[in-house]
Structure 1
Amino acid sequence: MSRPVEASIDLSALRQNLNVVRRAAPESRVWSVVKADAYGHGLKRVWGALRETDGFAMLNLEDAIQLREWGWKGPILLLEGFFHADELELFDKYRLTTSVHSNWQIKAIQDARLNAPLDIYLKVNSGMNRLGFTPDRVSTVWQILRKVPNVGAMTLMSHFADAEKSEGVERPMQRIEQAAEGLECPRSLANSAATLWHPETHYDWVRPGIILYGASPSGQWQDVANSGIKPVMTLSSQIIAVQNLKPGDTVGYGSRYTATQEQRIGIVACGYADGYPRIAPSGTPVMVDSVRTTTVGTVSMDMLAVDLTPCPNAGIGAPVELWGNGIKIDDVAACAGSVGYELMCALAPRVPVVTV
C-alpha cells in the first residue's frame, strides 16, 4: 500500500455491540442485519464475529447463498423476500426465510414445487408505506397462507419510521395490534432504535442494524454514548503536504475557505472518491496526531485540507482519523447533512480494509 488511506474494522467492537443488543432485549432472539455488504463493512469480513447471533437478515439472495457456503447453518431472513418466482427454488435449496409483502408472492408460493415448506415473515404496513399489507387485510392474508402446504412457520413483521422519537412507535403499534387481532403469532418489529429505546416492541425477534456497527439510529452520537456501543469502522489517512497560508489566501475548489490570519493547513490523502462526503463543509471534525481539529475548504476527489492550528507539531506523515473512536461517524455525517448509514455504505472499493 503506497497511498496511506485505510479503513480498519474492529471485530471485537462488533461483538461488543451484539452484546449490547442482547442486554437491551434479553428475552428476544436477534436478527443481525447485514444488508448492503454489512453496511459497508464487508459481509465476508464480519459475519464470523457475529456467529453468536440467532440469525442473519439481508436483502440479496446471493449473499444468503454465500453465508450458507461459508458454513452458517442458522436462520437467514430475506427482508424484501424474493423478487421473482423462480428464486423460490433457491430459497428451498438453501432453507431461507422469506418476507411476504405482496399478493403476487403469495401466488408464487402457492404454485411453487418445494421439497419442504418455507418459513415466512408476513409484512405489515405500519404506516411507513413502503412494503406490506394494510392492517385490515392482514388477518385474511394470514389465514390464506396458513392453509398453503408450502408455508411453514409464520411470523408477523413490521418496521418503524420514527422509532428514534420518544413517541415514535405509538401509532405504528396501534396499527400492528389491529393487524394481529385474533392471531396467535410471533412478531419481529424492533429495528435498532426500537431495540434500544422501546422495549414494548421487542417481542420474539429484534432486528438491529446500525447499532451493530457502532453508530446511532438517531444520527446523534450522544444518544448512544452511554449505551456501551463502540464504533466498528475507522477511516484513517495521513498528512501528505503542509501549506502556510497568509491572510486572504483561499483553499480548494471554489475558494470556499479564506484564511483570516497566518495559518498552517495539512493536506490529507482522502477525498470523496474514497467515500468521504464531498459536501462536508469547513469545520467538519477530524483528528490529527490525536488532536481534534477541523476541515477547511472543499473536499476534493482524492484530498481534503485540515487546520493544523491546534496541532502545531503535526507535519507530513502525521496520522489522521476521519471517523472512528475519536471522531464519531455520526458527527461527520451531521455536518454533511447525512447519516452514518450513508457514510458507512459509501466507503469506496479503492480503500484498503484491514480487520483488527
Structure 2
Amino acid sequence: MARNLRAEVNLAAIRHNYQLAKSQAKMAKAVAIIKADAYGHGAVQVAKSLSGVADAFGVAAIEEALELREAGIEEPILLLEGFFETDELKLIIQHRLWSAIHSLEQIDRLEAFLDAHPTEGLCLWLKVDSGMHRLGIHPADFNQAWSRLQARSEVAELVVMSHFACADEPERQDTYKQIEAMSRCLEGVDAKVSLSNSAGVMHWPQAHYDWLRPGIMLYGASPFADGHALEASQQPAMTLTTQVIAIREVPAGDAVGYGASFVCDVPMRIGTLAVGYADGYSRHAPAGTPVVVNGQRTRIVGRVSMDMITIDLTHHADVQVGDSVELWGEQLSINEVAKYCNTIPYTLLSGLTRRVKRIYKDQ
C-alpha cells in the first residue's frame, strides 16, 4: 500500500472565497494574496484558477512573481515587500510587475535607476508605517515620498498602502489608531488606497477603500481566533487526508509513542497514521487533537513523530487498515486544529512539505 497522504485543493472554493471578499466592498478591487505558494495550496494552480477573475495577485518576492509569469499568468502581480536589490528593477519593468516602496532609501535607488534607464508605465504601491513598525515610510516622511514619486513621469499609477497589526483582534484599539494615522497622511492627497488584509475585509468596512488584499480567507480559513460571522460563508479550500496503516490492541497501563507520554487508562484500540511533522503536521498537536475517520471524530494519542501519529480507535470498531482519515478540511476546521496546536492556520497550511501530494479539483 503506497503512502497516501494528500492535500485535496478545491479551486472552486478559492474562487468562491475571492468573490466573497470582493462582495464586502462592491466598489473595491482585490489583490489575491498567493505568496508562500498560495499558503501551501500551489501558487501556479491557484493563479490559473483565478485568472480572469482576480484583479491582481500579491506575492512576497520577485522569485514568486517570476514563477507565475513563466506559467503564463498575465494579470498584475504586486511585490508586497518591493525590490531588495536595484538590479531587480530591470525584471520588474520587463515583466510588468507592481512594486511596493517602503523606504526613502528605496526611492533614492529607484530615482537613480530611472535616471539611467528611462521607462514608462510603472505601478508603485507606497507603503506607510501606520503603527505596525515592520515596513513602511514614516508618516512624517509621507508627503516627501508621495511628491517625489508623483513627480516621476515613469510612474503611471501610485497607490498608498499600509498593513494592520491587530485587525484580527477587534476588541483592541490598535486598528482604529492605524486608520486614523492613515487618514492624517491622506489629507489633501488624491490617491487610491489599500489597507485591508483578510481581517480588515471581514471586520473593518471603514478600512476597505479602493483595494482589498485577501489572503487567508481565500483558503477558507479565518484570521480570527474567536470566530467571525462571515466564516459560515467561506468554503474550505484544502482537505488533508491520510490512511490508517496499522491497528493494534494496547492493554491498560501501556504507553503509546515517544517519551511514553500517553498511557492507556483502559484497554485501547490504537491506529497508526502515515503523517508526521516531516510532512508539516504540527509536532505541537497534543493528545486530544481531533481527526475524523469514516465521518466520526476521534483524537490523537501520544506524540506526533516525524512520519506517523497514533489515534484512538477504541470506539471505532469498524475502522480498518487502509481507511481514510481527515486531518483538517471539509469535516474538521483547520482553525480548530490550529487552536489545539497553539498556533494559527497560516502556519499549518504554509508548512506542508513536498511529501504531501496536492490533488486539484474544480467543483
TM range (shorter): over 0.9
Alignment partner for residue 169 of structure 1, among 175, 200, 203? 175
**Matching residue of 1:182:** 188
CA RMSD of aligned residues (A): 1.4
Alignment partner for residue 295 of structure 2, among 290, 293, 297? 290
**Matching residue of 2:262:** 257
Alignment partner for residue 329 of structure 1, among 326, 334, 339? 334
Counterpart residue type for residue 201 of structure 2: T
| Secondary structure of 2:87 counterpart | helix
**Matching residue of 1:233:** 238
Map 1:140-151 → 2, pairs under 5 A: 140-151=144-155
| TM-score (structure 2 length as normaliser) | 0.94
Contact 1:247 1:260 in 2 (8 A): yes
**Matching residue of 2:68:** 67
25-34 or 211-220: bigger deviation: 211-220
Deviation at 1:114, TM superposition (A): 3.8
**Matching residue of 1:86:** 87
Distance in structure 2 (CA, Å) of the matches to 1:315 and 1:350? 24
User: Relative to 1, partners in 2 of residues 1:225 and 1:184: Cα closer, same or farther, differing over 3 Å?
Assistant: closer
Map 1:1-20 → 2, pairs under 5 A: 2-20=2-20
**Matching residue of 2:124:** 120
**Matching residue of 1:53:** 54
Contact 1:219 1:340 in 2 (8 A): no
243-252 or 161-170: bigger deviation: 161-170
Deviation at 1:218, TM superposition (A): 1.4
Contact 2:59 2:79 in 1 (8 A): yes
**Matching residue of 2:360:** 355
Alignment deviations for residues 69-127 of structure 1 (CA, whole Å, 9 cap, x no partner): 33333221100000001110111111111110112210121112142141111111011
264-273 or 146-155: bigger deviation: 146-155
Map 1:28-39 → 2, pairs under 5 A: 28-39=28-39
Distance in structure 1 (CA, Å) of the matches to 2:6 and 2:189? 51
Contact 1:110 1:150 in 2 (8 A): no
**Matching residue of 1:307:** 312
Counterpart residue type for residue 126 of structure 1: S
Deviation at 1:201, TM superposition (A): 0.6
Deviation at 1:200, TM superposition (A): 0.8
Alignment deviations for residues 278-321 of structure 1 (CA, whole Å, 9 cap, x no partner): 11100001001111111000001110011113422112112100
Counterpart residue type for residue 205 of structure 1: W
Distance in structure 1 (CA, Å) of the matches to 2:134 and 2:266? 52
Contact 1:137 1:179 in 2 (8 A): no
Contact 1:136 1:178 in 2 (8 A): no
**Matching residue of 1:268:** 273
The number of aligned residues is 355
Contact 1:289 1:311 in 2 (8 A): no
Counterpart residue type for residue 207 of structure 2: T
Distance in structure 2 (CA, Å) of the matches to 1:48 and 1:224? 29
| Uncovered stretches (5+) of structure 2, i.e. residues with no partner | none
1:338 to 2:343 alignment? yes
Counterpart residue type for residue 165 of structure 2: A
Contact 2:127 2:160 in 1 (8 A): yes
- Displacement over 4 Å in runs of 4+: none
| Secondary structure of 1:85 counterpart | coil
| Secondary structure of 2:64 counterpart | helix
Contact 1:20 1:227 in 2 (8 A): no
Alignment deviations for residues 305-343 of structure 1 (CA, whole Å, 9 cap, x no partner): 111134221121121001111111111111111110001
| TM-score (structure 1 length as normaliser) | 0.96
Contact 1:122 1:157 in 2 (8 A): yes
Deviation at 1:64, TM superposition (A): 1.5
